[in-house]
């Protein structure tokens, strides 16, 4: 029996965001939030021999920036959590070799950011740990290679396609009071609405985001009005319109709602189709742009619903539909 | 005149393929496979040979021509070697294209690195 | 909301594709590749004073080389985003599929990378070309025996 969980949600009292590090790719740097990120890389290779190694180097940079801000060393952290899009969550696992403290890899596809933050918050809230670092990354070329086609292959992308964001984000959560805290979280159920189209992630994931949002509001007796901003992870232009329509049909008043995939890029001038996707998409927007706004008290409370399509290209070829999940975390500026 | 014919036929085949691509969930792999099978079928009664006579390079450049060439080479060899000719002559006409693709593909892979 | 209702809702909101524009560009690019092929073909026919049949492999080799280079330079996939079938249906698309697969797996080494992945996408064309030609060939051969 659950002692403190309300349905799928939990109110958190003692988890604070202490520091963060954000590294973005070239297109994200040119986008409307380009100036928000700590560092940007201009070349997808980033001086490495393969895209996978470049992604890892990017993540290491994000981790170093995050820890340096608080003058911490790798060994000062109690636990590391990490998530990325690759098979065997390659990027974080291979980076974790360099870490002298325990590591837990979590996989939630593009929802990895919220999932790792929620898991870290649980460890701290329970009083087991004091400082926990979460790391997430995604890289356009590594994701293309694994989930779609070789990067140089001439296949025309469909109009519903999303563009995997390139970036890495590291966040330090701590039990010591800070200006911004994790205030609540809702863990998602895996939802499958029999969607088969791998070129249309927004449509596949919208029901999962809907389910998590409704659970969150119901469990905590809240609505959109309790937040200054509600963002979904990477539903893209099309997916976020579907979600809006679903909510309206369920008589939910939708205000202050946006999607990270639409915020990270300028959809009218950048060639990203329906918008951004990937672990880094929600992480970059949240930690790069929204977190500083909370710290400066420009906003009071936000909800991040990171969505993930848990597909495997092998199962897609076997004609299976796409299971999807969404996890939500609520961040609040401390009085 | 040859140029206009080549333009029209090659463009038309691509147009048909694009319409299939846009109105289905088929990948380029599915569609090219279909067109190759279609090409080898059209060798029947020398249909494709007539197309080449009329449209020249326009009929030689789409992937349908690859299926036709496989079939044509195989059938030509059956005249000399019987049923074994199908396997013996299969690559007679397409050898150049496949060899070039493998060789240049390999060299490019060695010399260049993937961009994005 | 059940699945049927959801599909209806999602279909309503689906972004309008550019089907007419796509079809136009596929026709245009496919046609232009046809013109280039014709030019190369006539060049070889005049240069070596040979028949069209003899010049065909030379033309194909030239276009394959051009396609491989454009793939290596990172241009072919950008053309393809606009051209669609206009660039994957001509033989240059086959060369692009081989080169891009090889290039992409370069980081996994010469054998496990380039060697074993080159036919990852292009292999299907060869497989079905041969299977269909062999099947149809056997049928046609048997008919000629009795015919």
Residue B25 lies in a domain: yes
CA-closest candidate to residue A132, choices A142, A143, A120, A144: A120
Asked if B1 reaches chain C (Cβ–Cβ under 8 Å), the answer is: no
DSSP code for A318: T
What would the mean pLDDT of C58-76 be, rounded to a whole number?
96
What would the mean pLDDT of C90-116 be, rounded to a whole number?
95
Q: Which domain covers residue B98, as residue numbers?
A: 2-111
- The structure tokens listed for A57 are 């180097």
Quick one: pLDDT at residue A2? 60
Within 8 A of C60 by CB-CB distance, chain B residues are: 60, 96-97, 100
Phi–psi pair at B99, nearest 5 degrees? -60, -45
Assigned superfamily of A9-174: Stage V sporulation protein AD (3.40.47.40)
Under the banding of pLDDT at 50, 70 and 90, the label for residue A163 is very high
Asked if B111 reaches chain A (Cβ–Cβ under 8 Å), the answer is: no
Task: Measure CA of the first residue to CA of the last residue in chain C; give whole Å.
Answer: 63
Residues of each domain in chain A carrying CATH 3.40.47.40? 9-174, 180-333
CA-closest candidate to residue C106, choices A44, B112, B116, A154: B112
Task: Measure CA of the first residue to CA of the last residue in chain A; give whole Å.
Answer: 34
Asked if C65 reaches chain B (Cβ–Cβ under 8 Å), the answer is: yes
- Are A230 and A303 spatial neighbours (Cβ–Cβ below 8 Å)? yes
Quick one: pLDDT at residue B45? 86
Distance separating alpha carbons of residues A168 and B77, to the nearest angstrom:
59
What one-character-per-residue DSSP string does B29-72 give?
Answer: HHHHHHHHHHHHHTTGGGHHHHHHHHHTHHHHSBTHHHHHHHHH
What is the residue whose two structure tokens read 């065909």?
Answer: C56
pLDDT tens, residue by residue, B41-80 = 999 889 999 999 999 999 999 999 999 999 999 999 999 9
Distance separating alpha carbons of residues A66 and A74, to the nearest angstrom:
11
Within 8 A of C23 by CB-CB distance, chain A residues are: none
For chain A, strand residue ranges (E) read 9-24, 39-40, 79-84, 103-105, 131-138, 163-164, 167-174, 180-186, 229-232, 257-259, 276-277, 301-309, 324-333
**Residue C66: Cβ within 10 Å count:** 17
- Are A81 and A279 spatial neighbours (Cβ–Cβ below 8 Å)? no
Distance separating alpha carbons of residues A231 and A101, to the nearest angstrom:
32
What would the mean pLDDT of A189-196 be, rounded to a whole number?
95
Interchain proximity B114–A141, CB inside 8 Å: yes
CA-closest candidate to residue A83, choices A49, A53, A119, A31: A119
Distance separating alpha carbons of residues A286 and A280, to the nearest angstrom:
10
pLDDT tens, residue by residue, A120-147 = 999 999 999 999 999 999 999 999 999 9
> For chain B, what is the domain count?
1
pLDDT tens, residue by residue, A198-208 = 999 999 999 99
Interchain proximity B114–A156, CB inside 8 Å: no
What was the ipTM of the complex prediction?
0.94
Instruction: Give the rounded percent of residues in chain C with a pLDDT score beyond 70.
Output: 100
Task: Decide if pLDDT at A1 tops 60.
Answer: no
Distance separating alpha carbons of residues B69 and B55, to the nearest angstrom:
16
pTM for this structure? 0.94
Asked if A151 reaches chain B (Cβ–Cβ under 8 Å), the answer is: yes
Of C81, C104, C121, the CB nearest to A151: C104
Domain A180-333 has CATH 3.40.47.40: yes
Residue B102 lies in a domain: yes
Cβ within 8 Å of A, B 6-35: 21, 25, 27-28
What would the mean pLDDT of A172-183 be, rounded to a whole number?
97
**Which subunits sit against B, judged by 3+ Cβ pairs under 8 A?**
A, C
Mutate to test the interface with C, among B39, B45, B57, B93 (most CBs of C within 10 A): B57
- Are C130 and B70 spatial neighbours (Cβ–Cβ below 8 Å)? yes
Interchain proximity A152–B28, CB inside 8 Å: no
Under the banding of pLDDT at 50, 70 and 90, the label for residue C16 is confident
- Are A161 and A199 spatial neighbours (Cβ–Cβ below 8 Å)? yes
Under the banding of pLDDT at 50, 70 and 90, the label for residue B115 is confident
What would the mean pLDDT of A233-261 be, rounded to a whole number?
95
Under the banding of pLDDT at 50, 70 and 90, the label for residue C123 is very high
Residue B89 lies in a domain: yes
Quick one: pLDDT at residue A335? 82
- What is the pLDDT of chain B when averaged over all its residues? 95
Residue B40 lies in a domain: yes
Task: Decide if pLDDT at A166 tops 80.
Answer: yes
């Amino acid at each position: 029996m659950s002692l403190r969980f309300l349905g799928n949600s939990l109110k958190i009292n003692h988890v604070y965001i202490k520091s963060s590090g954000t590294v973005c790719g070239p297109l994200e740097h040119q986008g409307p939030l380009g100036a928000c990120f700590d560092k940007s890389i201009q070349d997808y290779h980033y001086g490495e021999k393969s895209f996978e190694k470049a992604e890892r180097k990017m993540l290491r940079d994000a981790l170093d920036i995050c820890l340096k801000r608080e003058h911490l060393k790798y060994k000062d952290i109690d636990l590391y959590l990490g998530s990325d899009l690759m098979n065997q969550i390659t990027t974080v696992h291979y980076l974790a070799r360099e870490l002298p403290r325990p590591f837990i890899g979590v996989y939630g596809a593009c929802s990895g950011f919220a999932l790792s933050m929620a898991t870290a918050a649980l460890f701290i809230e329970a009083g087991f740990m004091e400082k926990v670092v979460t790391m997430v990354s995604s890289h356009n070329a590594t994701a293309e290679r694994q989930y779609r086609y070789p990067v140089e292959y001439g296949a025309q992308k469909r109009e519903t396609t999303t563009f995997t964001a390139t970036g890495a984000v590291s966040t330090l959560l701590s039990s010591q009071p800070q200006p911004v805290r994790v205030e609540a979280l809702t863990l998602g159920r895996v939802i499958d609405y029999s969607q088969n189209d791998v070129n249309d992630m927004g449509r596949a994931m919208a029901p999962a985001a809907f389910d998590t949002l409704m659970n969150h509001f119901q469990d905590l007796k809240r609505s959109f009005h309790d937040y200054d901003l509600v963002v979904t992870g990477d539903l893209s232009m099309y997916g976020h319109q579907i979600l809006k329509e679903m909510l309206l049909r369920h008589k939910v008043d939708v205000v202050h709602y946006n999607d990270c995939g639409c915020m990270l890029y300028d959809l009218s001038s950048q060639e990203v189709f329906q918008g951004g996707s990937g672990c880094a998409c929600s992480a970059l927007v949240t930690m790069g742009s929204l977190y500083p706004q909370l710290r400066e008290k420009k906003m009071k409370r936000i909800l991040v619903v990171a969505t993930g399509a848990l597909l495997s290209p092998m199962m897609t070829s076997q004609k299976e539909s796409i299971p999807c999940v969404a996890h939500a975390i609520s961040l609040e500026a401390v009085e | 005149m040859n140029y206009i014919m080549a333009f029209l036929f090659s463009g038309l085949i691509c147009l048909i393929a694009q319409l299939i691509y846009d109105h289905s969930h088929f990948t380029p792999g599915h569609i090219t496979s279909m067109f190759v099978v279609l090409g080898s079928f059209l060798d029947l009664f020398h249909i494709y040979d007539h197309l080449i006579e009329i449209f020249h390079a326009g009929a030689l450049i789409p992937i349908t021509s690859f299926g036709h060439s496989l079939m044509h080479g195989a059938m030509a060899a059956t005249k000399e070697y019987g049923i074994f000719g199908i396997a013996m002559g299969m690559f007679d006409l397409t050898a150049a294209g496949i060899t070039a693709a493998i060789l240049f593909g390999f060299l490019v892979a060695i010399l260049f690195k993937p961009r994005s | 909301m059940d699945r049927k209702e959801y599909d209806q809702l999602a279909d309503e909101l689906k972004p309008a594709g550019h089907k007419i524009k796509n079809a136009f560009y596929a026709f245009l690019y496919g046609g232009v590749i046809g013109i280039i092929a014709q030019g190369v073909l006539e060049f070889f026919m005049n240069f070596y004073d040979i028949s069209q049949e003899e010049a065909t492999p030379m033309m194909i080799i030239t276009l394959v080389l051009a396609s491989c280079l454009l793939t290596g330079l990172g241009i072919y996939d950008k053309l393809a985003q606009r051209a669609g079938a206009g660039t994957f249906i001509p033989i240059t698309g086959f060369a692009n599929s081989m080169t891009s697969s090889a290039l992409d797996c370069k980081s996994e080494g010469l054998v496990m990378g380039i060697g074993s992945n080159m036919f990852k996408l292009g292999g299907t064309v060869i497989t079905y070309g041969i299977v269909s030609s062999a099947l149809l060939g056997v049928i046609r051969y048997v008919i000629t025996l009795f015919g």
